[in-house]
A and B are shown apart, each in its own frame.
Chain A
Amino acid sequence: MSSIVYIIDDDPSVRRSLVRLVREGDYDVEAFASAEEFLTALPEAFVRPTCAVIDLQMPGLSGLELQQRLNARPHPCSVIFISGNGDIPATVKAMRHGAVTFLTKPFHDEELLTALAEGIEVHQKQLVDSLLTRRIHQRIETLSERERETMSWVITGALNKQIAGELGIAERTVKAHRAKVMEKMGVVSVAELVRLCDVAGFTVAR
């Protein structure tokens, strides 16, 4: 997937210089003069790996407020903050709400490009992960109730005999369910299955 970088800064010459710089990094880039403009132009959901470079101090909606709005969306994009003032409370707040980094103007091209790479990668992973998660869930949907129960025991590392005991069914039945699960989930080993369930957030049995 091709990534995109957004630049949100009220200062026109800063915007122009950043657009040039980001293009140097071979990213697609779009610039906005205010948070409101940016939010209006954003698509409903993030489909491309996205990184937003946001100025902290802007008239209207501030950078931190914009970050909160973005975090309210599903799979929020990465955020890099830039500011002419190194305000420690604002920095802390920004980082705690998940910003990639906080750069004080004037900053070197390398600093921004490195941060962009990191941000894009993180969001990409998030998107991919979510895509994967969806697929896993789809697969889990195809399992029957019993098969699901069985899976929840299998990933604990329990033996077939133990699972049979827990579920109150014959060992032979457990083996049959187990095979179905492996087939439908598209895995060859228990380790893989465990990982998939982990990614999907499938709860382990007690």
Chain B
Amino acid sequence: MSWVTVIWSAGMGVCLILALMHFLIWFRDRKSWSSFCFPVIALGIVCMGFCELSLMLTDSPDEFLRLVRIGHVLFGVTVAASLLFVHLDFGTGRSWLLLLALGLRTAAVTANLVTDGSLHFISIQSLEKIRFLGESISIVNEATENPWVRLGQLAALVQIAYVIDASTRLWRRGGGLNRHRALSIGGSTVLLFLVGFVLVGSISAGALRAPILVSFPFFGMVLAIGYDMSSNLIRTAQLAKELEANERRLALAGAAGRIAFWEWDLKNDRIWFSKDGWAVFGIEPASEVNFERFMVHVHEDDRSRLEETVRESVEKTGAYSAEFRLVATEGGRPRWLSATGKVEKNNRGEPVLFRGFSIDVSRRKDAESQAAQQRRELTHLSRVGTLGALSGALAHELNQPLAAILSNAQVGRRRLGAEPPDLAEMDEILHDIVDDTKRAGNIVHGMRAMFAKDAPVDLQAVDLNGVVADSLKLLHSEIIARKTRIEFTPLPTLPPITASFIELQQVFINLIVNSLDAISGQSAGVSALPPCIRIIVSDTPDGIMFEVADNGPGIPLENLEHLFEPFFSTKSPGKGLGLGLSISRGIVERYGGKLIAVPPEDGCGAVFRIAFPPPSADAKVAACDHGVDADTPH
């Protein structure tokens, strides 16, 4: 057995097996054309191997020349397949360069077939026998070079250029796998072309006296590709296992948490849901769903808002987050869903896939609206409590007009019998009675308003000057009893705020009562100043600002933030729950404002500052908050 035959046969056997294997693999997944190229390359190498073997064993120069010619055709096919493989597998090659390389090689093959002899030699005069691997083989001895061989060499150079370019671009993409492929496949292909170029070139020029061993570099390339494709298979198997595990995890999450995973194919307008996802939305599993059909399941009130959010995500931001209700099923309440998603784009930057998940959050929404309800009730109770504490003062306020009415009416009756009757005076008396009755009525009205539970949509355009003035009226006798002076100048140009009058009044009464308590709480003789509460109103570009300042003992620095915590009170036990400030802050924040205790300065008392944003933003904030409350399920 000659070594040459053994080695060449072995090599061809390997290539044949690889070719067959990968042909079968391609056959299963016919979409991957790079998988098709590979068997072609391998087969081509087998044929070239045969050719080379025959070349080495032949004694006839004419036969030699014929075999060279056939061999070149095979070479051309294999080269084309290699280039195509690189192009399809890497995806980074420049198409025009590829076409140029292919075109040149095709031209070379054509020249090979058309001219005398082959591309390399016009004629071979004689062969020589040399010893190679213990055998004597034929090589070219005397021959006439074909000038067309330059075409082949040019083609080879362009091929090399293309592969180098494609490989470097793949390398630059980064990533271990890409770089490995760039190096192994790209490298071996370049090497192959280079060797072929040099070898054949020097043999045809007569410079090198050696057999044509083109198949071996090809062999190297085949091994590289084969290794790559095999490791691909292993990786695919691993991915499949991971995928299966993932699927099981998703199914678990979906079933347990009522999560629906969805994918929306934007090009074809087709939405897919995960196994449990269909049930979450109440859609027949595996039915054809497009966006329009999907929106039918969304609650009427939320439809336009959701459409806009989706449109903005797809067209602009790429990220998606929304909360909306589904249409209520029979006898049920509308369910709340919270959706999160992301838009995926293709190479050209067009959105192609919208992927995400939605969770049923009805329970959370229920809890939220319950909490809102309780907060309303607590606010109301705090109001009622304040009213109770002020009952003495309010009774006093009522007694004033009542006393006047009684006296006036009794005087009037006495004067009825006068001769002549003094009608002018009666008119005056009755006029005063009417005024005083209205005055008493206002106070009762104010009290009733404070007792009232706030209806959810009781928003009006509130003039803050009026809120302060009304609060001061209600507290009038209390203020006098504590011998406190109030300084307040209304600001007529103050813009109104969309809010609840009663709640804002509650906040002011709370602050003023706190100041009154602080002032009267300090021991006599501590402050030489007569007690005074100053209320300052200002309208700045940043918003509307109110300050309530007293000249009491002030707030110690360490208590400054604790003040707003629920149940924090510096008053003696039994004097209030300590809820006033925390509720007041809650009210102010709900209307988009802030309530802070200004850090104390020397010689000053406590200063509380309320800041509301400029009215344009107000309406939206208040409406949003009250909109949620209005959805209390019943």
Contacts and interface: CB of A to CB of B under 8 A. Distances in A.
Q: Do A and B bind each other?
A: yes
Interface of A: 10-11, 13-14, 16-18, 20-21, 24, 57-59, 62, 82-85, 104-109, 112
Contacts of B407: 14, 17-18, 20-21, 106-107, 109, 112
Given A58-B480, A85-B477, A20 B400 contact: no
Interface in B369-427: 392, 395-408, 410-411, 414-415
Contacts of B402: 105-106
Contacts of A10: 480
A24 B414 CA distance: 8
Contacts of A17: 403-405, 407-408, 411, 432
Determine which residue in A59, A84, A107, A109 has the highest number of CB atoms from chain B within 10 A of its CB, and name it: A84
Contact of B410 (A21, A57, A105): A21
Interface string B560-592: 000000000000000000000000000000000
Q: What 6 pairs between A and B have smallest CB-CB spacing? A: A105-B403, A84-B399, A84-B396, A17-B407, A109-B410, A106-B403
Given A20-B411, A21-B411, A58-B480, A13 B435 contact: yes
B481 interface: yes
A107 B403 contact: yes
A59 B482 CA distance: 9
B597 interface: no
Nearest to B410: A109
Interface of B: 392, 395-408, 410-411, 414-415, 429, 432, 435-436, 439, 477, 480-481, 483, 485
A59 B477 contact: no
A125 B404 CA distance: 31
A124 to B, nearest CB: 24
B411 A106 contact: no
A59 B480 contact: yes
B405 A106 contact: yes
B401 A13 contact: yes
Given A17-B411, A106-B403, A108-B410, A57 B395 contact: no
Contacts of B405: 17, 106
B395 to A, nearest CB: 7
A57 B481 contact: yes
A33 B415 CA distance: 26
Contacts of A82: 403
27 contacts: A10-B480, A11-B400, A13-B404, A13-B436, A14-B404, A16-B404, A16-B432, A17-B404, A17-B407, A21-B410, A21-B411, A24-B414, A57-B477, A58-B480, A59-B485, A83-B396, A84-B395, A84-B397, A84-B399, A84-B400, A84-B477, A105-B400, A106-B399, A106-B407, A107-B403, A107-B407, A109-B407
Nearest to A59: B480
B565 to A, nearest CB: 34
Given A59-B483, A84-B400, A84-B477, 18 more contacts: A16-B432, A17-B403, A17-B408, A18-B407, A21-B407, A24-B414, A24-B415, A57-B396, A57-B481, A62-B483, A82-B403, A84-B396, A85-B395, A85-B396, A105-B399, A106-B402, A107-B407, A108-B410
Contacts of B404: 11, 13-14, 16-17
Contacts of A57: 396, 477, 480-481
Contacts of A24: 411, 414-415
A156 to B, nearest CB: 52
B374 to A, nearest CB: 36
A108 B477 contact: no
B403 A14 contact: yes
B434 to A, nearest CB: 11
A84 B393 CA distance: 9
A66 to B, nearest CB: 14
A108 B410 CA distance: 8
Nearest to A60: B483
Contacts of B408: 16-17, 20
Given A21-B407, A108-B410, A109-B410, A14 B480 contact: no
A2 B415 CA distance: 23
A62 B484 CA distance: 12
A18 B405 CA distance: 10
A108 B403 CA distance: 9
A149 B476 CA distance: 64
A82 B395 CA distance: 14
Contacts of B411: 17, 20-21, 24, 109
Nearest to B413: A109
Contacts of B439: 13
Contacts of B480: 10, 57-59
Contacts of A14: 400, 403-404, 407
A20 B477 CA distance: 24
A59 to B, nearest CB: 5
A82 B400 CA distance: 10
Contacts of A21: 407, 410-411
Contacts of A62: 483
Contacts of A18: 407
Nearest to A14: B404
Contacts of B414: 24, 109
Contacts of A11: 400, 404
Nearest to B396: A84
A107 B406 contact: yes
Contacts of B398: 84
Determine which residue in B400, B429, B480 has the highest number of CB atoms from chain A within 10 A of its CB, and name it: B400
A107 B406 CA distance: 7
Nearest to A15: B404
A82 B401 CA distance: 13
Contacts of A16: 404, 408, 432
Contacts of B481: 57, 85
B438 to A, nearest CB: 11
Nearest to B485: A59
Nearest to A13: B404
Contacts of A20: 407-408, 411, 429
A186 B411 CA distance: 48
A91 to B, nearest CB: 14
A57 B399 CA distance: 12
A107 B408 CA distance: 11
Contact of B406 (A58, A83, A108): A108
A109 B411 CA distance: 8
A10 B479 CA distance: 14
A84 B480 CA distance: 12
Given A13-B404, A18-B407, A109-B414, A85 B392 contact: yes
